[in-house]
Structure 1
Amino acid sequence: MVLNTGDAPTPGADTEPRALARGFNHLDPAIAERAYETLGTIRRGCPVARSGELEGFVLVTGYDEIREVAQAPDRFSAYVDGLGAAAVVTEMREAVAPMFETDEEHHHQWRRALMDFFTPAVAAAQEQYVRAICRETLQELIPRGAADLVCSYTQQVPPLVIGRVLGLAELERAWLSEHVRALYDAETLTEAQQVGRVYADFLLGQIRERRSHPARDLLSCMVTAEADGHAAGEDELVKMTMLMVAAGHLTTADSCATAILQLLDDSALRERVTGDAGLLAPFVEELVRCEPAVAATGRTVTADTQLGGMPLSTGDRLLLAWGSANRDERHFADGEVFRLDRERSRAPHLGWGAGEHRCLGRHLARVELRVMLEELLSALPDFRLQPDATVRRTFGVIRGVAALPVRWSRR
């Protein structure tokens, strides 16, 4: 049953949605394949509901409700313990990353300090570098005739790009790329902690170098920037840099993998964008609406309030399911369907976030995704899934694809 805005639910009518919400755990791998089907059922019955998983949180799935939270930092703080995007750097749990976990004026000061590195013009200036990395990577792949495009392509390009934006030298970018991929590919907690310590030490060395000899790069700006008259401490800077790399690497890599899977599943769509590279920009935008890489982020309630009719108490943790918001029937007709020619809705999609924490790097991500797809379609025009390949989607903080085993004609 779809509840129209303002309708009062019939007692007992939303038993199934509330039961699904109570057991919803976005970190459970079993949820991935049916994530949006499950979230849709929850959203239509109760767009704000409580989950008993992960020590308890409030699951927010509706467009209006998620946008309200994102635009009300006075009631909903971006700092949340153990839930959402910051959980990707659990080894630095006690530190607060200024750009990602603060709000209002403190956050605004940081955003103003860093935004010059993420303007549309600066993003466009990175295109030549992105294209060169793509071509170099693909030239190595062509003779093989087969590869997993996730580990061999989509995960290769983004860490080098964000490394360049940070100001790392070429060999340092290669080191960063290797270790950040090792961190997120770790199979055990012990392995992740070991790689994480080495990675954090590397970033700390870079931070100390910039403090002594600042340059004209993003990392130097982060080190020397002040908010409320104070520069960030070393732990804050390490965590913020880790999150900056994760934002630049994980989201773009997983978005590209999801885009490739979309093209593999829809041959007519693939033929259209292959024949007209100008369609890749709207393709990327619709992809971000339909399957945003950032699947869920957290907020903390800072004062007793209510959301969607549900009373909330100070300290309650919220999980915002962004992709669910972009499929909300109240704003997006056929929101579950990917449409290259989708007309722009009066309500902007939330694939890049909303409010003061809207994705700072969205212009760069658009350039990377467009170029990565254009170069892939040019270099491997007949790539296809390998026989009997099983493709597994991922879902959690990030939405992506575990692997894309494909083959193509050697040239």
Structure 2
Amino acid sequence: MSAPTIHEAAAAVADPSAYADEDRLHAALARLRASSPVARVETPGYNPFWAITRHEDIMAVERANDVFTNSPRPVLMTAQQEELQAAVQIRTLIHMDDPEHKKMRAVALNWFRPKTLKTMHSRIDDLARIYVDKLASAGGECDFVQEVAVNFPLYVIMSLLGVPEADFPRMLQLTQELVGFEDSEYARSADPDDQLSALLEMFEYFTKLAAQRRERPTDDMASTIANAVVDGEPLSDIDVVSYYALIATAGHDTTTSSISGGMRALVEHPGQRRRLTDDLDLLPAAAEEMIRWVTPVKAFMRTATADTQVGGVPIAAGDSLLLSYVSGNRDEDAFDEPFRFDVGREMNRHVAFGFGVHFCLGAPLARMEICSFYNELLPRLESVSLAGEPELSATTFVGGLKHLPIRYAMR
């Protein structure tokens, strides 16, 4: 493959199909990091933006949250999709800035503190055992993503939120349609109105859940959010259901991608799998490396509130910036051999969870789930290999593997 031009490389950042082709994507991002790390992107269908591809520059933008805000454009979408979502008035944490963001983040923060997560650890370990048992009973060959990786994190986050188990399949479909709207396998259709219908259906479901928890509070996260008070006022219905939607989607698909991408990495790097199996104390470091390697959240957007500069490039007030976490996590200046998968990697300053005030709320839970799953799986996994071609989802926001056929033997 010939090296992409700067124009081709910049266009790839906004092309969902590029994220389903890792060679093409990383070639484009490497070209930008080397020659145009703050690149202007003007591509049909999208409002213009700057692509920020170096780890150092991403961190600088994340630190300056007073200069670079999440609102009004937190996620890369087509201009038409931005208009449709604005009409729905969705208001999640990723759409907010301080001081409102800090207050809203505090509503669910206690659910992700170490003390709370410690009480959940044994239950998550039990669930990991259940899904490893399912893998063992699957007959030595399966699609690891669809049969294992999507279900374990789904069960964890939906149970935490308070969704009845009977509704888990519906939630799985809706979360995949929402975050996978750019992939033909997950999207309801190519019609943006149909994509919006998945969001409205989830909102309708969560509106009913919120009403139930206000009438009869329980000990789940849904009750905490539904009955929260900020600045002396109860949360509005749109704020409650937006919060639910964020927890449901971010708490599921990102962890699914990390677990499935971690499995692929262990299959393709058998020496690292043996190293980790022989020393499970490496699991915390290995989990961070899996998250860096996969980078489930591909990018977030920021908007400049004043004339400024990034990496020496002038940025005008009102300009949008795309923080390419995928690129930052393979930056040669930030990581020793960034294209080497290393379960014992030290000083792993990846940006997969973001940084600063918008650092991922659920990061501790995701780390716990990954460690619990592989702590259960690896001692029982005698051998594993690919049984077909892995397939990645087309996306510019959240995604990873959607199919991982494996052949394996369990102890």
Whether TM-score is above 0.5 comes out as yes
SS in 1 for 2:71: coil
The count of corresponding residues between Structure 1 and Structure 2 is 393
**CA contact 2:269–2:341 (8 Å) conserved in 1:** no
Show the counterpart of 1:5: none
Q: Give the letter for the 1:78 counterpart.
A: N
* Residues 174/120 of structure 1: CA separation in 2 closer, same or farther (3 Å cut): farther
What is the match of residue 69 of structure 2?
Answer: 77
The CA deviation at 1:405 is 0.8
Instruction: Decide whether the 8 Å contact of 1:36 with 1:324 is kept in 2.
Output: yes
Aligned partners of 1:110 and 1:187: how far apart in 2?
31
Q: d(CA) in 2 for partners of 1:23 and 1:108?
A: 34
Matched to 1:376, the amino acid is L
> Partners in 2 of 1:111 and 1:399 — Cα distance?
24
Question: What is the alpha-carbon distance in structure 1 between the residues aligned to residue 379 and residue 198 of structure 2?
Answer: 36
Residue type of the alignment partner of 1:235 = I
Match of 1:115 in 2: 109
| 401-410 vs 98-107, which moves further | 401-410
User: Which among 19, 30, 33 is matched to residue 40 of structure 1?
Assistant: 30
1:153 aligns with 2:122: no
User: After the TM superposition, which residues 11-410 of structure 1 pair with which residues of structure 2 at under 5 Å, given as runs?
Assistant: 18-31=6-19, 32-34=21-23, 35-53=25-43, 54-81=46-73, 83-84=75-76, 92-94=85-87, 95-145=89-139, 146-173=141-168, 175-177=170-172, 179-181=174-176, 184=180, 185-189=186-190, 192-344=195-347, 348-386=349-387, 389-394=388-393, 396-409=396-409
Distance 1:86 1:98 in 2: 19
Query: How many Å apart are 1:86 and its aligned residue?
Result: 12
**Aligned counterparts of 2:164 and 2:402: Cα–Cα separation in 1:** 30
The code of the aligned residue for 2:59 comes to R
> 2:149, 2:256 within 8 Å by CA — same for their partners in 1?
yes
Secondary structure of 1:271 counterpart:
helix
1:320-375: CA deviation from partner (whole Å, max 9, x where unpaired): 11132233233322223222333326xx3322210100011111100101112233
Report the AA paired with residue 226 of structure 2.
V
Q: Is contact 1:179-1:195 (8 Å) kept?
A: yes
Q: Give the RMSD, CA atoms, in angstroms.
A: 2.9
For 1:409 and 1:312, the matched residues in 2 are separated by 54
Q: What percent of counterpart residues are identical?
A: 27
SS in 2 for 1:342: coil
Contact 1:48 1:59 in 2 (8 A): yes
Q: Distance in 2 between matches of 1:379 and 1:358?
A: 34
Contact 1:98/1:232 (CA < 8 Å) preserved in 2? Answer: no
Deviation of the 1:196 alpha carbon = 4.0
The equivalent of 2:183 in structure 1 is none
What residue in structure 2 maps to residue 4 of structure 1? none
Cα shift at 1:232: 3.1
Residue 3 of structure 1 is matched in structure 2 by none
- Bigger Cα displacement from structure 2, 70-79 vs 146-155: 70-79
CA distance in 2, matches of 1:130, 1:197: 31
Cα deviation code 1:230-254 (max 9, x no counterpart): 4332223222321221110010000
Deviation track 1:372-398 (CA, whole Å, cap 9, x = no partner) reads 223333454323211xx1123345212
Task: After TM superposition, give the deviation of residue 29 of structure 1 in Å.
Answer: 1.1
Contact 2:177 2:188 in 1 (8 A): no
